[in-house]
Amino acid sequence: MGTIKKSVIAGSWYPGNPSTLKRDIETYFTSVSIPELEGEVVGLISPHAGYMYSGQVAANAYNLIRGKKYDGVIVVGPSHRVAFHGVSVFSRGGYETPLGMVSIDEDLAEKVKKISPIVADFPGAHLQEHSVEIQLPFLQVALGDFLFLPLVMGDQDAITCRELAEAIYKSSQGKKILIVGSSDLSHFYNYNVAKKMDSIALKYLKEGDAEGLLQSLENGEVEACGGGPMAVVLLTARLMKADKAYFLKYANSGDVTGDKNSVVGYASAVYCKSR
């Protein structure tokens, strides 16, 4: 048995009561429209703020995979609290939320580590990190039982993103995998400045343009705490031969709270591979 990572955000970032949590997510789902998709969803981008701020944006993406079956789900998030080099994988055990435990895909974890030396076990990176965990209740309601692989990025530079995408792609050959990139967009600008800055990131998400996104992150045109995870999704989806990009929803915290002096941006998108 590996380690069971207990939730550090239940009761604050989202409801700690299982029935309330499930009801809230299902309510988010009923409030979004379902676009016509070509192909199956292989990549997904979702924000990682508290559900009262970004849950409705996230629901636009997760609603599109309800009832689907995947051999595994890979969730890639940034490290907010611990500085380290490379990428940390939580390779044994599971994550626990109020909706139950999600087991680690231990075989996939070992394959990723074997393929890429930048991926290693660094449990401390996961202990207090919210960016991966906050995606799980949405996945649990949408998919039911599934195996997953949590990856936390200590480095988000272009070289790391490309190598991680390659490792994910190679390790998941022969499997139907969903890769989730966890990221918010700009932080603490006023409403209009945030929308203008975030519009550049949205252009790249709409086009599935990983290289454009990476360049704009590097030169400061785009700010996103999970810019690396977003780029990894775009890069991996391209390797998986995903040929359709669907940008779904943008909003920021000012749309929820009414305070437009200092906001955080949120977006959701999915990437599909033709059957």
The SS3 assignment for 158 reads helix
* Cβ proximity of 249 and 270 under 8 Å: no
Q: pLDDT value at position 62?
A: 98
pLDDT, tens digit, 9 for 90 and up, residues 202-245? 999 999 999 999 999 999 999 999 999 999 999 999 999 999 99
The answer to whether 149 and 111 have CB atoms below 8 angstroms apart is no
> Who's near 8: CB < 8 A, 6+ residues apart?
127, 128, 130, 133
Q: Give all domains of the chain, ordered by start, each with its CATH number.
A: 3-8+40-265 (3.40.830.10)
Q: What is the pLDDT of residue 200?
A: 96
| Token pair for 29 | 């789902």
CB 138 within 8 A of CB 62: yes
Rounded CA-CA distance 152/77 in Å is: 5
Q: Which two tokens stand for residue 125?
A: 């990176």
Cβ-based neighbours of 44, under 8 Å, separated by 6 or more? 61, 62, 65, 178, 179, 180, 181, 233, 268, 269, 270, 271
pLDDT tens, residue by residue, 40-63 = 999 999 999 999 999 999 999 999
pLDDT tens over the chain, length 275 residues: 578 999 999 999 999 999 999 999 999 999 998 888 999 999 999 999 999 999 999 999 999 999 999 999 999 999 999 999 999 999 999 999 999 999 999 999 999 999 999 999 998 999 999 999 999 999 999 999 999 999 999 999 999 999 999 999 999 999 999 999 999 999 999 999 999 999 999 999 999 999 999 999 999 999 999 999 999 999 999 999 999 999 999 999 999 999 999 999 999 999 999 87
